[in-house]
Structure 1
Amino acid sequence: MTSVTPNIVLIRSSPIALWGIDSQERLRRAFKRAGIAVTGQSAGGGVAGTEQPTLLIRADHVYEESVIRALIRNPSHLLVTDAGVPVAAHIAPGGDIDAAAALLQSEATVASGALPAGLSTVVDPAALASTYNHALRKRARPYVLPLTPETVPAIEHRMFHGAYKGVTDFVTKYVWPVPAMAVTRWCARLSISPNMVTTVSFLCVLAAMSLFWHGQFLAGLAAAWMMCFLDTVDGKLARVTLTSTKFGDVFDHGIDLLHPPFWYYAWFVGQGAVIGGSGQDALQTAALWIIIAGYVLGRGQEGLFIWLYRIEIHTWRPIDSWFRLITARRNPNLFILTIAALIDRPAEGFLAVAAWTIVSFLFHCWRIAQAGWQRMMGHRPCSWLTEPLVTPEAWRTERRGGSGLRGSGVP
């Protein structure tokens, strides 16, 4: 590990753009996000033996951000593709930068045998960077891919799906990807920023709330689903173009966190229900408080699990990740309300959301209790997504009672 910021030098540039950004600019943004400015464009010419670490990197390849960050942290490492072609070198102080640059300029595969001074270890992306992305709650093999006109569609597809959260609701996971990728590409080509998309999303929040309030449920649902769709697009656009900002993150997540209770209250009012009334009004009022309390307590459960066990409740075991698909959060609740509105039963849909909120809350209470019991037994709960990726053969062996890869007696 190094505490000295390396000098970044790009070599073998490429004019090919991904998501409207050429590879040199993409690398500059990636290093800037890691806190380092790119200071050079080419290597060579009397720089061997410098006392500052130097990171040479080919700009005719595409690198996942986790690989970039891992490269910065690991001096004396030569990064090769899965095919063994050298693409980046973090050269320790005093190393031979000219020889390392010549190695990167070649297309020959390389082993650990004879490396230039300043390099001692040859690694591929999977050996260098983690397969677990905590922010996106997913496991995936980190990539380094050659950039050619022929590979652009496949690379953009991989980058987009690599920006997708692995643990989320069923609408976001299965319905949005195809249209969201098309809209994300369109926004990137037109230089539409993620914050612009988030602003339109916020306007949809206000439109949906107003329409629900006035009992125009189907029109309100159209605005609500548009907001949910754009909420997917803005995050993916920020990740694939490396343009996320602290303001954008607060703006986006602030809207996500605050708007659902306002929608539920507007739906309650739109039915003509009155707090403090009797009969049907009393039933709807109870449903309103259950939904809002369930939303707040559900967020509290998630925060409690992180505080207790340092992992998200939805990433503990596979059953938790599966239940996240349908748990009583915004999109699954909107799905219930949409079915109810289509059959002209908005009040019954509201009661169904309340019932599902109770089920979801009790499920997570059960999981928190199980995690506490596991810790009492001396086993610290850890995310199944941090476990090694296994082959289908190894998984079948484990299922037959062989290797015990899951590492937990809890499902």
Structure 2
Amino acid sequence: MSALIETAAGPVRLLGENATRIWGMSNAERCRRMAESAGKGGKRLAEGHELLFNLAYAFDPLLLTLALAQPGTLFAWDGVPIVGQVPAGSDPMRAPSVIDLSDGRKLYNHQLRKLEQPFVRELTPQTRSAIERRSYFGAYKGVTDVLTKYLWPELALVLTRVAAQLRMTPNMVSMIGITLCIVATFLFARGMYWTGFLAGFIFMVLDTVDGKLARCTITSSKWGNVIDHGVDLVHPPFWWYFWGTGLATWGLALSGGTFTFIMTAVIAGYVLQRLIEGMFLKDFKMDIHVWRPFDSRFRLITARRNPNMVILFFALLAGRPDIGLIALAWWTLISLVVHAVRLAQAYRVKASGRPIVSWLEEAQA
């Protein structure tokens, strides 16, 4: 049994039926959302082709992205068609390029910066929970900071499931997080560091939840991405500045000259580091953190918000939030130097005529 529906990407054929829900929706709705999202993102089927989804299975959205990029591509599992862009009305297993993923091959996900085997699994009431867990972790970036990668994935998974069951949108989660971000800034300015840490911690976890909820429920939006990434980009310097002004309530205010140096190092270092990352992306068409294994490992601890909060946390435990801010400034400068050197090295490699290729892509090959 099959049904043909029209989407923004083009005609979609749904094979079979499946009453098992995933992330609070039917598999047919999930597949329709994926096709609609791809179409609204500018991806269209080749003339004379249709998208095919096997509703008996749940799969990594990466497979749809790859199928849309290459007409005639079908992904299968042990001889069973799963998803693909195939000639309309044809036998899917006779598509020009049939890729059977049951051989264990790994594929590189550029967007999420990781190399892994995309998940494909039959969707049943017994497998639903495991599939949701796999799709959640499948939405995680492979190269990110140490807290996001290791500390709160399990907590964020629980919150993502709760949000999906409550039918919350990612923007709702983002607005709660933004409110807590502002509250944390106010508390830091008053020297209420522990309370501010609590608000900031919840915000940082929700900053993971909104993105995972969007990917798992296929509800990403242009403005949602702008808001999420905009807040992520703008708020850290404000946290560090008001952490510095809050030191006065502890009797640990920095001298005028020291405060100016620290703020210059923190803010200018942060801005310049992000500019270097942007230059690398523009000139080499990939994130600087996926160039070589060293870059991916350094991303775990580089001077971004989460690693910086670890520095401040341990300084606060020692009762010296002033030393924490000073250490944060020096770590920002060190990270800036590392990034500047890596950018210069990349330009030198390019000038020598050698290609700049991510080590993750080399591992896939």
Query: What's the TM-score, normalizing by structure 2?
Result: 0.88
Q: 2: CA distance between counterparts of 1:54 and 1:311?
A: 31
Corresponding position of 1:67 = 63
- Is the aligned partner of 1:287 residue 2:262? yes
Higher relative strand content: 2
Q: Is the 8 A contact 2:247 2:254 kept in 1?
A: no
Cα drift, residue 363 of structure 1: 1.0
- Is the aligned partner of 1:174 residue 2:150? yes
- Give 1:86's aligned amino acid: P
Does the residue aligned with 1:191 lie in a helix, a strand or coil? coil
**Correspondence list, 1:273-352, <5 A:** 280-352=255-327
**Correspondence list, 1:66-215, <5 A:** 66-81=62-77, 83-88=78-83, 90-92=85-87, 95-96=89-90, 100=91, 115=94, 119-125=95-101, 131-215=107-191
Corresponding position of 1:405 = none
Corresponding position of 2:198 = 222
Q: 2: CA distance between counterparts of 1:156 and 1:279?
A: 49
Corresponding position of 2:27 = 23
Does the residue aligned with 1:135 lie in a helix, a strand or coil? coil
Unaligned 5+ runs, structure 1: 37-50, 105-109, 391-411
Instruction: Give the aligned CA root-mean-square deviation in angstroms.
Output: 2.4
Cα drift, residue 178 of structure 1: 0.8
Corresponding position of 2:44 = none
- Is the aligned partner of 1:267 residue 2:243? yes
Cα drift, residue 73 of structure 1: 4.5
Corresponding position of 1:369 = 344
Q: Is the 8 A contact 1:306 1:312 kept in 2?
A: yes
- Give 2:326's aligned amino acid: L
Q: 1: CA distance between counterparts of 2:219 and 2:87?
A: 30
Q: Is the 8 A contact 2:31 2:53 kept in 1?
A: no
Q: Is the 8 A contact 1:5 1:53 kept in 2?
A: no
- Is the aligned partner of 1:233 residue 2:209? yes
- Give 1:250's aligned amino acid: V
- Give 2:55's aligned amino acid: A
Cα 1:359–1:68 change in 2 (3 A) is same
Does the residue aligned with 1:252 lie in a helix, a strand or coil? helix
Does the residue aligned with 2:324 lie in a helix, a strand or coil? helix
- Give 1:355's aligned amino acid: W
Q: 2: CA distance between counterparts of 1:338 and 1:325?
A: 17
Corresponding position of 1:43 = none
Cα drift, residue 138 of structure 1: 1.2
- Percent identity over paired residues: 41
| Aligned residue among 230, 240, 249 for 1:254 | 230
Does the residue aligned with 2:143 lie in a helix, a strand or coil? coil
Cα drift, residue 88 of structure 1: 4.6
Q: Deviations over 1:176-199 (max 9, x none)?
A: 111111111111111111111100
Q: Deviations over 1:159-182 (max 9, x none)?
A: 011100111110000001111111
Cα 1:54–1:189 change in 2 (3 A) is same
Q: 2: CA distance between counterparts of 1:56 and 1:354?
A: 53
Q: 2: CA distance between counterparts of 1:61 and 1:79?
A: 12
Q: Is the 8 A contact 1:333 1:353 kept in 2?
A: yes
Q: 2: CA distance between counterparts of 1:66 and 1:126?
A: 16
Q: 2: CA distance between counterparts of 1:259 and 1:267?
A: 12
- Is the aligned partner of 1:14 residue 2:18? yes
- Give 2:325's aligned amino acid: F
Q: Is the 8 A contact 1:215 1:270 kept in 2?
A: yes
Cα 1:373–1:90 change in 2 (3 A) is closer
Q: Is the 8 A contact 1:67 1:125 kept in 2?
A: no
Cα 1:279–1:135 change in 2 (3 A) is closer
Cα 1:374–1:74 change in 2 (3 A) is closer
Tell which deviates more after alignment, 328-337 or 308-317.
308-317
- Is the aligned partner of 1:57 residue 2:61? no
Cα drift, residue 349 of structure 1: 0.7
Q: 1: CA distance between counterparts of 2:124 and 2:27?
A: 11
Cα drift, residue 76 of structure 1: 4.3
Does the residue aligned with 1:10 lie in a helix, a strand or coil? strand
- Give 2:29's aligned amino acid: E
Corresponding position of 2:358 = 383
- Give 2:87's aligned amino acid: A
- Give 1:57's aligned amino acid: F
Q: Is the 8 A contact 1:53 1:90 kept in 2?
A: yes
Q: 2: CA distance between counterparts of 1:287 and 1:230?
A: 29
Q: 2: CA distance between counterparts of 1:77 and 1:293?
A: 47
Q: 1: CA distance between counterparts of 2:72 and 2:331?
A: 54
